[in-house]
Structure 1
Amino acid sequence: MVLPFIGILVSLAFLIFFAYRGHSVIFIAPVAAMIAVLFSGAPLLASYTQIFMPALGGFIVNFFPVFLVGAIFGRLMSVSGYAEDLARWISKALGAQRAILATSIASALLTYGGVSAWVVVFAMYPIAQALFKEAGIPKRLMPAAIALGFFSFAMAALPGSPQIHNAIPTRYFETTTFAAPLLGTLGAIVTYALGMAWLTWRQKKLISAGESYGPDLDPGSPATASISPEENDAPLTGGGVGVLNRVQTRERVVTKGLIALVPILVVVTVNFLFVYVLSETMNFDYLAEERFGATTLSSVIGVWSVTVALATAVIAIFLMRPRQAQEYVDGISEGAKTAVLPAFTTASEVGYGGVIASLAIFAVIREGIFEVSDNALVVAALSTAVIAAITGSSSGGLSIALQSFGADLARMADEQGISPELMHRVTAMASVSFDSLPHNGAVITLLLVCGLTHRQSYKDIGMVTVIAPFIGFLVVMGIALVISGN
């Protein structure tokens, strides 16, 4: 059993190293899986075609609709200018001196509204850049301010979030995206308060040390040595997004901001109505038929509600600005294309997990995880957090953990009288803490967009996306254990 275990460690090291170097996980994950297979002595081709690919395909079958409509919605929010209008309105309302607060709130609102994390990064950078520059706040804090809004609580803690991290547990625990709403809201408040406290303290400390906004935080570093100040501060999203300096009346900014808020309100409202009204009044008995998978509404409602909510919001955007219909049609095509990469990246990680779970050595690893505690909440949180940290992906770690242990965890929770809603919220929040280690792809992208390096900004990113969410998770976990009586 020693050699197979070494094989898993080597495959993980391979996956982490090349993912950190920016190589596509779609290719790296199956190669890493085959390394573990070789060490274990299992059939190579059979493991790839009969285990890896079905696991990948199963994830796509279950969750691609969310990726698709989410990417389209995010693209239309960008094309229509609503994402920019919303961010500018919040920024104007709070003022440039509160750049960190404005940036994090705008990022969180876009994320909670269902906008893809990748869209949030590109939409928020030019807005944050203008605010930070005007306020003289050190630029090194900008990535952390953006990340606080979309890397943590808005993804997995806030009830009703349409992000994939909040949708995945619904398949395994037969819950909805509104699971454990009070507990999730409390976790979000703790996470955000701690993140803001850190960034506020860091801002005061850096400014008192004489640092102000500027690209050359670390002269000679790779991120700044070959980039002029003008190039480093140039908006990366095109289309004149970074235009806070444009003369606009406060009334116009407010009006456009309120209009931009409508699609997000549509997402939240329709999601809520589907879960609590339509699901109760409409007849879904046909789901029991073999042609529909002989399933139940509780097994699909999490994905259905989010998909319908985002699709309705897409229609709302068309109706709000019909003159831009041609641009929106093009945006739909672009959004559909951008949905493929993140969906298959996560699915490829799930395929990797499926192969590892099929190896004989995994039974030993599984026993070790379940021996840590006999409590379903603890096992779910531990397995999810560890796998998310290893893969550098919250959605990937969550999917792998629940695919490997989901049925057992649901059974344990039922035997122990633990609410599926508690399992949902704890597991979702556990996925968005240690996933944001330096090799996380979104972290790397965020730093590249901001023109900064890990050495310049990762300490602050880590504090608001790893430490703060972890403390928020511990608070929720503690209360969940008390509620469950374990």
Structure 2
Amino acid sequence: MGLLGILLGLGLLIWLSYRGWSVLVLAPAAAVIAALFAGEPLLAHWTITFMGSAAGFVAQFFPLFLLGAIFGKLMDDSGAVQSIAAFLTDVLGPKRAILAVVVAGALVTYGGVSLFVAFFVLAPMAQALFRAAGIPGRLMPAAIALGTSTFTMSALPGTPAIQNAIPMPVFGTTGFAAPGLGIVASAIMLGFGLLWLQRAEGRARRAGEGFGQRGADHPAQAADDPVVRERANTAGTFDPAEMAHSEAGSARSGIAVAVLPIAVVVVVNLLMSMVVLPRLDTSYLAEVRFGGITVGSLGGVWSVIVALCAAIVVQVALTFRNVPALRATVGAGANASVLPVLSVASLVGFGAVVAAMPAFISVRDAVLGIGGNPLVSLAVSTNLLAALTGSASGGLTIALDALGSTYLQIADANGIDPALMHRVAVIGAGTLDTLPHNGAVVTLLAVCGCTHRESYFDIVMVAIVGALLALVAVIGLGTVFGSF
């Protein structure tokens, strides 16, 4: 009965969230169903197990959601993201339209700009370039997804994406965990994705297929769609409804000014991780008032926090004249971070209740026994949970909350570098999360004015197949050579 309750709760969560119901309601309801079938105390699991785990997620990661959303809104309203898109449009032009869109998406998301902010800026860029080049508009979502939702989210060393931050407290790692393997995985994802899109473009040209009809107002429509909003908030760190709650400036900064805050994120994150924090005296963390912890469980998150703070300061100093209402922009960014963090935290709370059920022991043992290789079982567990929840961050956190300490013990016992576990977990969460019900997929298609029928197969190829190839390569190389 306990296992049946877990499956029923999970099924309810998936089905109703796909229909646009708020996960803030669905997650505790699903948790209560799981506890009910297991004969466990309902109120205790809701108010203690569920809320304790959800609150713990908010306590650890809300600063990243908050700062990331504010930085993304500043980059948007100041015109910095648009300047980067315009520069790449001028340099690469319609002849390299796909490459221009992919590079623009990769640059802004690797620099800390929120996924959904990037969507709303890149869609008009892709629309103009693809129309001028005669490339089918149905390929726009796949090109944007390749640049924003694959290697810059899960593989590229130092990415400030929340998915890359989630394993840090569990494994005591930084955002630069297994950098060599991350670069290899990034090259595979990018290379395979570009190859696929180029072949798709070639086939379309031979068939005489042109750009087609795409409306110009889809970004605004997507931001106002309540179903899109509910799904998006479990898949990203920015509430799309806040896109219009501030005023964008009409001026555009030069490319150097636009790119500098992005460079600050990367450089400060690296310096904090590799130079500053290792040299600081953090022995005070062992005191009872700080929880008796070590800097290893906090250092990665601290590095990203400092990097985003520095980038925000630089961004405001350089472009505050381009932002008509700075207070409104900062407020919109701050508000945009609240619903996503609570939505993902609710998924985490549901996962904590499931992990507390007696029936979960058999599930845990089955997962740990997959393939006889802990890297394989870790990849499978993050993959499946991200697929079921439609959220890489939610699935990853659930998996690591339930099994992270076990995997860390396995790593210690088998001489596996926790950095390798980190990289496998993140790449694993960024594969099957891109199923049709994923909030990022739904939002991206709405922004581009495309349908699942038109564009989803190409998204699968660049965001799932390419990521799976990279995951297999990382597990193989990591098994043979270890972390590097």
TM-score by length of 2: 0.91
Contact residue 381 and residue 426 of structure 1 kept, 8 A: yes
CA distance in 2, matches of 1:169, 1:405: 12
SS of match in other structure, 1:128: helix
User: What is the CA-CA distance between 1:192 and the residue it aligns to?
Assistant: 0.8
1:200 is paired with a residue whose SS is helix
Deviation at 1:8, TM superposition (A): 1.9
Equivalence for 1:178: 176
Match of 1:31 in 2: 29
Gaps of at least 5 residues in structure 2 are 223-242
Q: Deviations for 1:423-472, whole angstroms, at most 9, x for unmatched residues?
A: 11111111100010111111111111111111111111111111111111
**Match in the other structure for 2:226:** none
Alpha-carbon deviation of 1:322? 3.7
For 2:363, give the aligned amino acid: I
> 2:384: which partner in 1?
386
8 Å Cα contact 1:51-1:354 kept in structure 2: yes
Task: Name the Cα RMSD after superposition.
Answer: 2.1
Q: Distance in 1 between matches of 2:181 and 2:482?
A: 13
SS in 2 for 1:435: coil
Query: Which of the numbers 296, 301, 306 marks the counterpart of 2:304?
Result: 306
Separation in 2 of the partners of 1:309 and 1:234? 31
Q: Would you say 1:419 and 2:417 are equivalent positions?
A: yes
Taking the aligned partners of 1:105 and 1:235, their CA distance within structure 2 comes to 26
Q: Which residue identity is paired with 2:415? A: G
State the 1:393 CA deviation.
0.7
Separation of aligned partners in 1, 2:267 and 2:326: 23
Q: Secondary structure at the match of 1:210?
A: coil
**2:102 and 2:345 mapped to 1: Cα distance?**
29
1:410 match:
408
Q: Distance in 2 between matches of 1:433 and 1:231?
A: 30
Q: Does 1:215 align with 2:198?
A: no
Please point out which of 36, 49, 74 is paired with 2:72: 74
Which residue of structure 2 lines up, in the alignment, with residue 258 of structure 1?
A: 256
Of residues 354, 375, 386, the one that matches 1:377 is: 375
Aligned counterpart, 1:86: 84
For 1:232 and 1:331, the matched residues in 2 are separated by 22
The answer to whether the Cα contact below 8 Å between 2:445 and 2:451 also exists between their aligned partners in 1 is yes
1:297-376 matches, within 5 Å, as 297-324=295-322, 327-376=325-374
**2:158–2:270 CA contact under 8 A, matched in 1:** yes
Q: How far off its partner does 1:132 sit?
A: 1.1
- Higher mean C-alpha displacement, 44-53 vs 157-166: 44-53
CA contact under 8 A between 1:88 and 1:257: conserved in structure 2? Answer: no
Inter-partner Cα distance in structure 2 for 1:26 and 1:283:
40
- Paired letter, 1:354: A
Decide whether the 8 Å contact of 2:78 with 2:323 is kept in 1. no
Give the CA deviation at 1:377: 1.6
1:203 aligns with 2:201: yes
Map 1:230-241; keep pairs closer than 5 Å: 231=217
For 1:122-164, what per-residue CA distance to the aligned partner results, in whole angstroms no more than 9, with x for missing partners?
1211111111111111010001110111111101100000111
Percent identity over the alignment? 45
Q: Structure 1 residues 257 and 154, CA, compared in 2 at 3 Å: closer, same or farther? A: same
Q: State the secondary structure of the residue aligned to 2:113.
A: coil
Contact map agreement 1:389 1:436 (CA 8 A) in 2: yes
Q: Are residues 85 and 26 of structure 1, via their aligned partners in 2, closer, same or farther at CA, if it must alter by over 3 Å?
A: same
1:21 to 8, 19, 22: 19
Separation in 1, partners of 2:79, 2:373: 48
- SS of residue matched to 1:436: coil
Residue of structure 2 in register with 1:221 after alignment: none
Are 1:98 and 2:96 matched, yes or no?
yes
Q: Distance in 2 between matches of 1:54 and 1:189?
A: 39
Residue 379 of structure 1 and its aligned partner are, at CA, apart by: 2.2
Query: Structure 1 residues 240, 207: CA separation in 2 closer, same or farther (over 3 Å shift)?
Result: farther
Q: Partners of 2:259 and 2:38 in 1: how far apart?
A: 53
8 A contact 1:129–1:233 mirrored in 2: no
Question: Is the contact between residue 417 and residue 484 of structure 1 (CA under 8 Å) also seen in structure 2?
Answer: no
Preserved contact between residue 138 and residue 211 of structure 1 (Cα < 8 Å): yes
How many Å apart are 1:373 and its aligned residue?
4.0
Cα distance in 1 for residues equivalent to 2:481 and 2:340 = 36
Amino acid corresponding to residue 366 of structure 1 in structure 2: R
Label 1:234 to 1:307 Cα distance change in 2 as closer, same or farther (>3 A).
closer
Q: Deviations over 1:64-89 (max 9, x none)?
A: 11111001100100011001101111
More off after superposition, 77-86 vs 376-385: 376-385
Matches within 5 A, 1:239-250: none
**2:395 & 2:90 partners in 1: Cα distance?**
38
Q: Which residue of 2 aligns with 1:145?
A: 143
Separation (CA, whole Å) in 2 of partners of 1:458 and 1:382: 23
TM-score by length of 1: 0.91
Q: Are 1:62 and 2:89 matched, yes or no?
A: no
Amino acid aligned to 2:312:
V
8 Å Cα contact 1:263/1:316 also seen in 2: yes
Give the distance between the partners of 2:151 and 2:81, measured in 1 at CA: 19
Shift of 1:281: 2.8
Q: Is the CA contact 1:56–1:348 (under 8 Å) kept in the aligned structure 2?
A: yes
1:404 positional shift: 0.3
Q: Deviations over 1:393-445 (max 9, x none)?
A: 10011100000001110011011000111111111111100010111111111
The residue number in structure 2 matching 1:192 is 190
Q: Which moved more, 1:399-408 or 1:21-30?
A: 21-30
> Which amino acid in the other structure matches residue 298 of structure 1?
G
Q: State the shift of 1:374 in Å.
A: 4.2
Residues 84, 258 of structure 2: 8 Å contact kept: yes
